[in-house]
Each structure stands twice: as structure tokens, then as C-alpha cells.
Structure 1
Amino acid sequence: MALDDVTWYVGVRLLLLSLTLRCCKAAESFVSEIEPQKGSLNGGTRITITGNNFARNLFSFGAGNSHLGNKVYLVSSTRNFECTIHPDGCHEKQITCYTPKMPTAEYSVRVYVDGVRIPDEEHCKASRSKCIFKPEAHYTPTIDYIEPTSGVPGTLVKYRGRIITSLFGSNEVTSTNGQTARFVSLYKCNNQCL
């Protein structure tokens, strides 16, 4: 092969490689929005994060694999909290997580995919407000009154307070307030049951 042929061959290969990388570049991860944007001060609010190219592998077992999967943080100007991932609600276009107990503030959602932080500019490009979560007292369930305070097994107990759903283990999809959260069970116990 002559030198000109080799030069031409290498040039064509580099051009093809360059075109392949441009047209077939892996899409970047991004966040479109979170839902809901308000929830309980005491945690337990399930947040659904929509976007694209979230982690495909949610298993991070074994040495050297702790970075795999998705991680979500709720970040204010002074604090940050990890949102516990709910693996059954995750795929490449969605992450679900449960908020921890945290004080009232505006928290920006920050997502990491396989140990790499999605850049801030890739969180809710259309409207930054779609990536803000705010816990408030109004969205926090309370128990204000219990009667009787003691009784034998089988005693009917009345509870009064604020419950944020009308779904009590029913077959309905949404509550009367449009939420999908369900009241599944209630436990009463002494101070050791936290």
C-alpha cells in the first residue's frame, strides 16, 4: 500500500469515527419535573421525578459498586437531605423516592446517576420551579385526639386529626383530594415504637 493510500484510508476511518460519535452520542441525563412539589414535614412523601437516562442498573451490591444506581438529594441554602429511593418505582425515565423528616424550606432536587451528578442546568430547564419541593405543616398528618386512652383487646378506639387521604385500603385509584397516597395501617404503641 502506498503512503497516499494509507493516509486516505486513515483519514476516511477518522471521519467515519467522528460522524459515528456525533450522530450516536449517548443522550445525557436530565430531570423534567417532580411531583408532588409539597409534602409532609415528618417525611414519607413519595416524590416522582421524571426525566431521561436515569440508571438502568439499580443494584449496587458488592465491593466497588456503591456508586451504581440513582441517588436523590433535597438541597436548601443551608442543608441537604437524602431522599430514599423506592426501586420498584424506578426506570430510565422515572425515579421515585421517599422524603425524610425535614424543616420547612424550599429544597432543590439534585439527582446523581451511577455516581455522576446531573448538572444543575439539566434540572427542569423549562422552569426551575418544577424541581422545588417544599414540606409544610398543612401537608403533615397529625393525630390530635385519642379516645379511650386504654382498653381491653377489641376496644374500639377513636382518633381525631388530619389525614391527607380518603383512601383506606380501598380499590379507588385517587383520593377525594386528587392524591394517590393510601392510609394502609395505624399502629399505637408506647415510646419504644418509633
Structure 2
Amino acid sequence: MFQFKSFITAVILLSLAAELTKSQTCSYMWDPVFEANSANPPTMCPVTTTSGSTCVFPFGYNGVTYTTCTVQGPNNANYQPQCAIAIDSNNNASAWSVCNVPTDAMVTYATVRKAGYYGQNGGSTQGGTLVWIYGNRFAENSFSSVPASSSANTVQLVDGYTVYDCEMHNDKTTTTQLTCYAPVLPESVYQIRVYVNGNLIPLYQYYDPTHAIFASMPSQTPTITGITPQTGTPNSLVTLTGNFETACYSRDVVTYTTCTVQGPNNANYQPQCAIAIDSNNNASAWSFCNVPTDAMVTYATVRKAGYYGQNGGSTQGGTLVWIYGNRFAENSFSSVPASSSANTVQLVDGYTVYDCEMHNDKTTTTQLTCYAPVLPESVYQIRVYVNGNLIPLYQYYDPTHAIFASMPSQTPTITGITPQTGTPNSLVTLTGNFETACYSRDVVGCAQDDNALISR
């Protein structure tokens, strides 16, 4: 009996030793040690997926090599962390699955203005700036008739090894939105880091880490430059003048006269409206609107997964326009590019309308592409029809984020041909400005200045 117990004890000790050895020889992908040692990362422990398969690292996708899971994978409208579970002979992902991770929450971007642009990220060094953080699958506070006093989400502002807590504004917390007040902190640029239920969202679960930063600047501190009058009797009206930009950015009052995709608890941006209002005319109950199409447009760009400000193209046509949104009509799968589409895109300037030729083999429920035609220099609103139904502008995240600017300066030009003479099959190098073509490529890393185009 003693020998049997000794045998059991030995087996347990060996198992513990094996686990200890495992923990000492590899680290999990979401461990901050990987971010701190990106140049010389430790050995990564295997990452499992919801399919039961193990992730294959590294893998390529759309010209990018990934060594971690990513939220940029295909057919991933909710931006869940995914990885390749099979690769082809070129090391590109050929099969995907969702990664098993401590938290699948993700960060899209941050701003200091409600529903603002991520470039609006400046706040006061004196603290008090309200920071809005957008993403998916944050921990939502339980409903209460009074503002919440605690949160399962935590936000920190990080500059190197210096960390500042951002005080949570919990009564505005939803699964897709967090708000917090920046503290007093030195002038610098800070990475916004989010914990959900105690788990840090790793940077590979950010749409783009550079879209979630906070810039602390003395120039963003509200200042009073004048008080008029400077003397007076009690109850006199006093006017303060100055720069109150930070406070202005923090306001979040909007009056709606139509349905909107900006309502609460609306991760998929479906059109909603108030079905009840309080004494201040603010929405107190919401419901989804019955509309001809519930498709919505997030933004448009001339660079795949680019920024909506990258919206310039040639007056001579041919610029590939990428339109992102939700619930577009998806073409049936085919081994050849689709020749027709249930989606239509037009470029509109006042009463002048131009058709944008659909590039149907890239169509998904969250992405459309089309080629801009030859058209005069101007700024055009991008309008989308889904199954014959026009998506109204109130179902755009922001109509100004879905425009196309036609400019002669965006027309590719050839400035040099070398050599200018030669025998047949000689190598010829063309130099010039091919910025539009560069923006239209769906790979990462193409240059935007003078490029060399080589042909035989």
C-alpha cells in the first residue's frame, strides 16, 4: 500500500514538474512580455481555437505576416481575434478560426469627442478631459437608475513604463463604448490600454493601436482671457471669454429627427429611434426601426482599411474606392469574379450623379469596392443602394466620412523613361507619381512618392 501511494505521489510530482517546465519554457501570446520584447520575443505557448485546432504562426494575409492572432481576418464583422489554422505553400492563411483568449474584447479607436475622429485625441495636462473609447465586447455595467460606481472595465494611459489611471465614467459604459476622465499628467503621447474583467486587451486586438492614443498638451487646457465687467453689483451678468475647447469636445448632446445608428447597445449599428422620452426630451427607451434596408455605411477610403481622410482620386477615373459598413448584400460565392451585384454605388455632387463601377469579387457584407469614373474635379458624396434601396444618410456613421475627392493632382504621371532607346526585350524603367495606384493596392507597405514601375 505504501509503495502504491509513493507511486501516485511520484506521478503527481512529475505532472507538476511538467507543468512547471512548460510555464518556464513558453509564454502565452497575450502576456505583456511579448509587447515589451517585440525584437526578441520569448517562445510562445500553443494557441488553441474554437474549432479545436491550434493556430499556425507565422502566417500571411493580405501582404502582412502575423505572429499573433488578429482582428483583421476575413468574414469578421465583429472583429474577433482570429488566426490561421492552415497555410498554403506561400505561408498564407488558407483556413481560419477564432482564438481562445482571456478576453475577446477589442478596441477600434479613441477620441475626446463623442463619435469623433481618432485624430481628435488632444486633452489638457491639467486633467479632466473626457476620453471616449470605442470597441466591442467590453463588460457592460448592470442597469441602474443611478450612475454606476464601479466597473468591470479599467483604462490606463501608458507612456513607456509610466502608467496613469483614467477615472472611469461608468454611467456611459456599454459593450461598445467606455468613457473615462484623464488625470493630471505630463505633456506626452499616451497609449490607451483597456482591461476587461481584469484581462488586458493586447495590442493585436486593436484595430490599430495608433488610433487609440491620448495626447496631453498644455494648449488643450481651457483658459480664461477676459472677464466683463470686472466690477458690478451682486447678480450682475458676467461674461467669460477664452478657449474652452476641451469642455466643448466633451459635450454629448445631439437632437435626432430621424432614426440613427448612434443609439445605445448597438454594436452592429442598426437604425434605432426613441419610443419614449423623458421630461427633458431625451430618449428613455429605444427600439429598432423598420426600414427598407438596415444596411449602414461606416466610411470610405481609397486605400484598403485606410483612413477616411484618404479619399482623393484621379479626375481621369480608375481609382479603386473601398466602402466599409454593415449588412451589404453579399455576392454568392463563385470561382470566378462576380459580374453583377445587388449593391450599387454612385458619386453625387448636387444633382449630378456618376456611377461607380462595382468591383464585385471583393464584395462582402461589410465591404464594397468600385472604380471611380472620369469626372470633374469636385467633392462627391458616396451613395449606396442595397437590393435597390438607397441607404439614407442617417444610416451613415458620418456622411462626411464617405466622400470622394476628384483631383487632377491624384492622376498618376510618368516623369521619366530609362533608357529611352534599346533593343527588343530591354528592361525599361518608368518613374513618376503613382500615388493613386499605390493607394488602390490592397497590400501593406507600398510607397506613396515617386515609384519605379518596371516592365518589359
- The residue aligned with 2:315 is 41
RMSD: 3.6
Corresponding residue to 2:406 among 131, 135, 141: 135
8 Å CA contact 2:430–2:453 kept in 1: the answer is no
| SS across alignment from 2:409 | helix
Rounded to whole Å, the distance in 1 between the matches of 2:391 and 2:379 is 19
Identical pairs, percent: 33
Amino acid at match of 1:99: A
| SS across alignment from 1:112 | strand
8 Å CA contact 1:53–1:92 kept in 2: the answer is yes
- The residue aligned with 1:69 is 342
Amino acid at match of 1:103: P
| SS across alignment from 2:400 | helix
1:148 deviation in Å? 5.3
Q: Would you say 1:101 and 2:374 are equivalent positions?
A: yes
8 Å CA contact 1:70–1:113 kept in 2: the answer is yes
Rounded to whole Å, the distance in 1 between the matches of 2:404 and 2:436 is 19
| Cα gap change, 1:166 to 1:121, in 2 (>3 Å) | closer
| Cα gap change, 1:68 to 1:135, in 2 (>3 Å) | closer
| SS across alignment from 2:297 | strand
Q: TM-score, length-normalised on structure 1? A: 0.62
8 Å CA contact 1:166–1:176 kept in 2: the answer is no
- The residue aligned with 1:112 is 385
- The residue aligned with 2:160 is none
Rounded to whole Å, the distance in 1 between the matches of 2:455 and 2:448 is 21
Rounded to whole Å, the distance in 2 between the matches of 1:184 and 1:175 is 12
| SS across alignment from 1:42 | coil
| Cα gap change, 1:186 to 1:47, in 2 (>3 Å) | farther
Rounded to whole Å, the distance in 2 between the matches of 1:80 and 1:93 is 24
| Cα gap change, 1:30 to 1:23, in 2 (>3 Å) | closer
8 Å CA contact 2:341–2:360 kept in 1: the answer is no
| Cα gap change, 1:138 to 1:34, in 2 (>3 Å) | same
- The structure richer in strand per residue is 2
Q: Which has the larger radius of gyration?
A: 2
The count of residues paired between Structure 1 and Structure 2 equals: 151
1:128 deviation in Å? 2.2
How big is each residue's C-alpha offset from its partner over 1:64-122, in whole Å with a ceiling of 9 and x where there is no partner?
xxx96100001112522111111221111111111112221010001011111112322
| SS across alignment from 2:378 | coil
Mapping 1:1-194, distance limit 5 Å: 28-36=294-302, 37-57=311-331, 69-122=342-395, 124-125=396-397, 127-146=398-417, 151-164=422-435, 173-177=444-448
Amino acid at match of 1:118: I
| Cα gap change, 1:110 to 1:186, in 2 (>3 Å) | farther
- The residue aligned with 1:16 is none
Q: Which has the higher contact order (CA 8 A, sep 6+)?
A: 1
Contiguous gaps of at least 5 residues in structure 2: 1-286, 303-310, 334-339
1:159 deviation in Å? 2.7
Q: TM-score, length-normalised on structure 2? A: 0.29
